[in-house]
Amino acid sequence: MRRIAESTVRRLSLYLSFLEEIEARGVPTTSSEDLARLGGTTSAQVRKDLSFFGSFGKRGLGYSVPELSARLRRILGLGRQWRVCIIGAGKIGAALARYAGFTERGFIVSAVYDSDPSKIGSRWGNVKVRDEASLERDIEAGDYQIAVLAVPADSAQNLADRVVRAGIKGILNFAPVQLTVPNDVALRAVNMAMELEALTFAITNKVD
């Protein structure tokens, strides 16, 4: 498969969330114009995005909503359940463990890990705080495919190394540090203060 730009994957996610919304309302078909409006792009871009993955839709008839959403789910790897662990039972870990958006999209967050004995064993809703020492054993047992790192910057690389050695295939990093992982491990980073700094940079320097 050709390398797909991150911005394309992002738009595919947006198209899918729109399709799922109109599918729930029973809308049978949609157009590249409708998808473009939601994705903040043009209908030509929508057709180009989808063309990477084969042929979709019929000229003049638009796209079948159930068909296109099923295809996009498969493309995005959502045709299966993904089990996720959150590492770090601090403020960000707590917010993420309670974030309903993960479950809505088929991600099962089944545990939070921490090394603080005062936190281990406590329950947050459906999720239990487990001992970080058992992380490798649980991953090797196949409990998770994705790890979310919500730990301080100075312990993030060490924890990333540990989960990668244990077999994790994807990491979502909330620690404010750039991680290094092998090429076959997918890595994404979210840094909220950094997003605000990108804003203040743009406001201050008036780039556009």
Q: Of the candidates 180, 174, 159, 163, which has an alpha carbon nearest to the alpha carbon of residue 90? A: 174
CB of 157 to a second copy, least distance (A): 10
Supply the DSSP symbol for 80.
S
CB of 152 to a second copy, least distance (A): 11
User: Among residues 6 and 60, whose Cβ is nearest to a second copy?
Assistant: 6
What type of residue sits at position 202? A
Residues with Cβ within 8 Å of 56's Cβ and at least 6 positions away in sequence, in order, are 50, 63, 67, 68, 71
User: Among residues 103 and 122, whose Cβ is nearest to a second copy?
Assistant: 103
CB of 16 to a second copy, least distance (A): 8
CB of 50 to a second copy, least distance (A): 14
Distance CA 135, CA 39 (A): 38
Scan for tokens 């281990």, then name that residue. 120
User: Among residues 102 and 131, whose Cβ is nearest to a second copy?
Assistant: 102
Q: Of the candidates 131, 132, 135, which has an alpha carbon nearest to the alpha carbon of residue 166? A: 135
CB of 33 to a second copy, least distance (A): 15
User: Among residues 47 and 131, whose Cβ is nearest to a second copy?
Assistant: 47
Q: Of the candidates 145, 121, 146, which has an alpha carbon nearest to the alpha carbon of residue 132? A: 121
Sequence-ordered strand ranges (E) for 53-200: 63-64, 82-87, 107-114, 123-124, 127-131, 146-149, 170-173, 186-189
User: Among residues 38 and 70, whose Cβ is nearest to a second copy?
Assistant: 38
